[in-house]
């Protein structure tokens, strides 16, 4: 069935149904419960919500709203009043934000509670975040520790006796300083971070039976207090007594409108069918995820943000990246997707996967633009750019290493933490499929952030094997099983392989397969470094500080474990983190991770 015919049938269905269901006995249920708003820009207020000025039967207990200065307000019994930004009746979601900007944002977050309310943190593919509150008797207790997701001390809730810090619950508490004790663990919305000045959250409520199907069909869900049951009311019934006659005449009017629409669709069908399908797909996705935290910008706003695309930061196969500044002064990087692939799927993947992720080692998506065939992604700006430019010297010499070995170790550990979060920290596992130096961005402190989720795939953590129709990733980092199932099944271990190849490039300060290397036997760096490690030889790399060689050997050993051709022999990311923190002497050199280049091609099979 063609898209045009499908759309015609879809549009015709409500008019047909309207005529056949006029005899519903609940016609006057909404006579005094008409949908209303607090302002023209405010959310629509209807069942299960009601304004406090409306009769009690218009809504359910606990869903009362009020108007304050033309803004919609929700009162939570244990937390107070919050502005309502959006209500999705189809998805049973309400987005709220604090009425006042707090001078102590963390205190506001800690006091936020859904106790005795009808709402809960939205059940999505991502968990709400857990943070651990820690009290320390010494302010400098954290010096020398590897807690990356640490915020504090928080002066407004600290005292003379103890200093308060906030740590992500993903951090291991085994290395907690002796002068610190755990106070409590709190749950906040996945849209929040402890640094945010205004509390905001998307909450969900349990829809009554039949309401989701009713809203999905384009009607309103209501409640008949006489029969104690839900009812499905057509939208125009909330307009008053004339609604019944309007329903009967709506069919003929709808026919005229539908005819005009068909003429319009025929005219528009001259455009590229593929582009139209892409736009519909993207818009459908954005409609389903319209309460997602990143802001949607128009193309006109995008031009203002980038000063008409004046400062280009780089260009790739996807398009160009420009530097910009949001209207609140925050610097950003704007990626213009000029060469879309997969019918807009890369754009959808990016928004769906990192739109709600707040993790220290994952770049934050602040906004996006989708207007016609123009699409863009807006990220937090990383002043030091990608890891790639720091580890691949233009002179192809390790003596020109730009980052210290200690800094490389911290970067390797940070990336591992980010990948572990993607694999374990969400209710659904996120496979990146493109871990490489180019996609690791560095902030002003050289803390790594994983970026570019265009090839990412979501899967259940209960399922270890992933089905793919084609290999995805970048040559040189793609796991063998993505090319041939003879090497094993595709799983989260494919990301582990890519991470291992990236580690080797960090150690060797060059591409793993570099045509510029003079000695041909050293062209495949993983094999060259494996042979030297196995034979106990020096790595022939540049070391400046005591301990540098130990760091290099540890990174190399971990990398060689990660790039085992057999996926089952690769460690998981939690094990990788343990290996990176372990003593060098406790690490074993893995077996040969690949087929030696000395073996004839015919023997590989």
Model confidence pLDDT, tens digit, residues 173-204: 777 888 899 888 776 655 555 555 556 777 88
Domain ranges for the chain, please list them. 129-188, 281-380, 388-604
| Average pLDDT rounded to a whole number, residues 512-517 | 50
pLDDT band at 424 (very low <50, low <70, confident <90, very high): confident
Greatest CA separation for the chain? 90
Report the alpha-carbon distance of residue 331 to residue 207 in Å, rounded. 40
Cα 199 to Cα 58, 84, 95, 189, 588: the distances in Å are 29, 12, 11, 9, 48
pLDDT band at 99 (very low <50, low <70, confident <90, very high): confident
Terminal C-alpha separation, the chain: 46
pLDDT band at 125 (very low <50, low <70, confident <90, very high): very low
| Average pLDDT rounded to a whole number, residues 205-226 | 77
% of residues, the chain, pLDDT over 70: 71
Where are the extended beta strands (E) located within 40-179?
Answer: 50-51, 64-68, 71-76, 80-88, 93-98, 120-121, 129-136, 150-151, 163-168
- Residue 462 main-chain phi, psi, to 5 deg: -80, -15
Angle value at C-alpha 505, between 504 and 507, nearest 5 degrees:
65
Mean pLDDT, the chain, whole residue set: 77
Pairing of strands 311-316, 150-151: unpaired
Report the alpha-carbon distance of residue 456 to residue 350 in Å, rounded. 8
pLDDT band at 18 (very low <50, low <70, confident <90, very high): very low
Phi-psi region of 241 (alpha: psi -120 to 50; beta: other; left: phi over 0): alpha
| Average pLDDT rounded to a whole number, residues 496-507 | 94
| Average pLDDT rounded to a whole number, residues 472-501 | 89
Task: Find the helix packing angle between 273-288 and 3-20, rounded to 10°.
Answer: 50
pLDDT tens readout for residues 129-180: 677 888 999 887 777 676 666 777 888 888 888 898 888 766 777 778 888 9
| Average pLDDT rounded to a whole number, residues 211-229 | 76
Phi-psi region of 430 (alpha: psi -120 to 50; beta: other; left: phi over 0): beta
| Average pLDDT rounded to a whole number, residues 549-555 | 92
pLDDT band at 341 (very low <50, low <70, confident <90, very high): low
CB 309 within 8 A of CB 322: yes
Q: Which superfamily is assigned to 388-604 in CATH?
A: Transferase(Phosphotransferase) domain 1 (1.10.510.10)
Q: Which superfamily is assigned to 281-380 in CATH?
A: Phosphorylase Kinase; domain 1 (3.30.200.20)
- Catalytic annotation, residues: 434
* Alpha helix stretches (DSSP H) within 95-242: 105-111, 211-216
Where are the extended beta strands (E) located within 127-265?
Answer: 129-136, 150-151, 163-168, 180-188, 200-204, 220-224, 229-233
pLDDT value at residue 123: 47
In sequence order, the 6+-apart residues with CB closer than 8 A to the CB of 69 are: none
Kindly tell me the burial class for residue 509, based on how many C-beta atoms sit within 10 Å of its own C-beta (0-12, 13-18, 19 or more). buried
332: pLDDT strictly greater than 90: yes
Cα 123 to Cα 128, 189, 428: the distances in Å are 8, 10, 12
| 382-386 contacts at long range (C-beta below 8 A, 24 or more positions apart) | 382/333, 382/441, 382/442, 382/443, 382/449, 383/443, 383/444, 384/441, 384/442, 384/443, 384/444, 384/446, 385/313, 385/314, 385/441, 385/442, 386/437, 386/438, 386/439, 386/440, 386/441, 386/442
If we measure between CA atoms, which residue out of 372, 549, 530, 387 comes closest to residue 452? 387
| Average pLDDT rounded to a whole number, residues 105-133 | 71
pLDDT value at residue 498: 96
Which has the higher per-residue pLDDT, 207 or 516?
207
Residue pointed to by tokens 């999705």: 88
448: pLDDT strictly greater than 70: yes
pTM here is 0.57
Report the alpha-carbon distance of residue 36 to residue 42 in Å, rounded. 9
Cα 503 to Cα 202, 493, 496, 517: the distances in Å are 38, 15, 11, 19
Can you give the C-alpha Rg of the chain in angstroms? 28
Residue pointed to by tokens 């060098």: 584
242: pLDDT strictly greater than 80: no
Report the alpha-carbon distance of residue 287 to residue 280 in Å, rounded. 10
Report the alpha-carbon distance of residue 504 to residue 410 in Å, rounded. 15
Ligand-binding annotation for 107, yes or no, is no
CB 339 within 8 A of CB 311: no
pLDDT value at residue 604: 35
| 399-406 contacts at long range (C-beta below 8 A, 24 or more positions apart) | 399/542, 400/509, 401/509, 401/542, 403/446, 404/544, 404/545, 404/548, 405/543, 405/544, 405/545, 405/547, 405/548, 405/551, 405/552, 406/545, 406/547, 406/548, 406/551
3-state secondary structure labels for all residues of 298-365: CHHHHHHHCCCCCEEEEEECCEEEEEEECCCCCEEEEEEECCCCHHHHHHHHHHHHHCCCCCCCECCE
According to DSSP, the residues that pair with 365 across neighbouring strands are 379
pLDDT value at residue 487: 85
Pairing of strands 64-68, 50-51: parallel
Q: What is the secondary structure of 506-565 as a DSSP string?
A: HHHTS-SB-TT-SSGGGSBHHHHHHHHHHTT--------STTHHHHHHHHHHHHHHHT-S
């Amino acid at each position: 069935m063609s898209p045009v015919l499908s759309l015609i049938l879809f549009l015709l269905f409500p008019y047909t149904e309207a005529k056949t269901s006029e005899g519903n006995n609940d016609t006057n249920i909404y006579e005094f419960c008409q949908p209303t708003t607090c302002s023209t820009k405010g959310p629509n207020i209807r069942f299960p919500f009601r304004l406090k000025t409306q009769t009690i039967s218009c809504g359910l207990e606990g869903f009362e709203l009020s108007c304050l200065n033309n803004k919609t307000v929700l009162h939570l019994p244990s937390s107070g009043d919050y502005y309502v930004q959006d209500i999705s009746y189809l998805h049973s979601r309400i987005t709220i934000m604090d009425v006042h900007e707090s001078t102590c944002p963390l205190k506001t977050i800690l006091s936020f509670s859904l106790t005795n309310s009808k709402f809960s943190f939205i059940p999505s593919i991502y968990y709400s975040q857990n943070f651990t509150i820690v009290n320390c008797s010494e302010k400098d207790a954290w010096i020398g520790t590897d807690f990356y997701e640490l915020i504090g001390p928080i002066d407004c809730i600290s005292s003379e006796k103890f200093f308060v810090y906030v740590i992500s619950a993903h951090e291991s508490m085994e290395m907690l300083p002796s002068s610190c004790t755990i106070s409590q663990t709190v749950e906040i919305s996945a849209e929040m971070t402890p640094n945010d000045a205004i509390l905001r959250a998307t909450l969900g409520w349990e829809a009554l039976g039949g309401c989701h199907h009713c809203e999905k069909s384009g009607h309103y869900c209501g409640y008949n207090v006489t029969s104690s049951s839900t009812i499905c009311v057509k939208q125009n019934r909330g307009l008053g007594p004339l609604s019944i006659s309007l329903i009967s005449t709506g069919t003929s009017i709808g026919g005229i409108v539908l005819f005009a629409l068909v003429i319009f669709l025929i005219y528009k069908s001259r455009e590229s069918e593929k582009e139209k399908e892409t736009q519909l797909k993207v818009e459908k996705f954005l409609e389903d995820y319209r309460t997602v935290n990143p802001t949607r910008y128009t193309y006109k706003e995008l031009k203002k943000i980038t000063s008409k695309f004046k400062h280009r930061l780089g260009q790739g196969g996807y398009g160009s990246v420009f530097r910009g500044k949001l209207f609140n002064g925050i610097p950003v990087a704007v990626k213009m997707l000029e060469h879309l692939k997969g019918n807009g799927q890369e754009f959808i993947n990016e928004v769906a996967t990192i739109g709600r992720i707040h993790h220290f080692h994952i770049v934050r998506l602040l906004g996006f633009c989708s207007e016609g065939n123009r699409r863009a992604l807006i990220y937090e700006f990383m002043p030091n750019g990608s890891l790639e430019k720091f580890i691949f010297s233009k002179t192809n010499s390790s003596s020109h290493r730009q980052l210290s070995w200690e800094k490389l170790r911290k970067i390797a550990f940070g990336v591992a933490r980010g990948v572990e979060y993607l694999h374990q920290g969400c209710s659904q596992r996120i496979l990146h499929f493109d871990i490489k130096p180019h996609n690791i961005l560095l902030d002003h402190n050289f803390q790594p952030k994983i970026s570019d989720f265009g090839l990412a795939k979501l899967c259940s953590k209960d399922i270890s094997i992933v089905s793919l129709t084609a290999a995805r990733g970048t040559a040189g980092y793609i796991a063998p099983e993505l090319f041939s199932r003879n090497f094993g099944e595709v799983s989260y271990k494919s990301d582990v392989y890519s991470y291992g190849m990236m580690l080797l490039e960090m150690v060797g300060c060059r591409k793993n397969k570099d045509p510029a290397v003079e000695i041909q036997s050293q062209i495949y760096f993983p094999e060259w470094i494996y042979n030297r490690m196995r034979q106990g030889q020096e790595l022939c790399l540049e070391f400046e500080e005591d301990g540098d060689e130990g760091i290099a050997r540890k990174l190399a050993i971990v990398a060689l474990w990660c790039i085992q051709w057999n996926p089952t022999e690769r460690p998981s990311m939690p094990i990788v983190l343990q290996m990176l923190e372990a003593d060098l002497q406790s690490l074993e050199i893995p077996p040969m991770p690949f087929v030696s280049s000395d073996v004839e091609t015919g023997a590989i099979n």
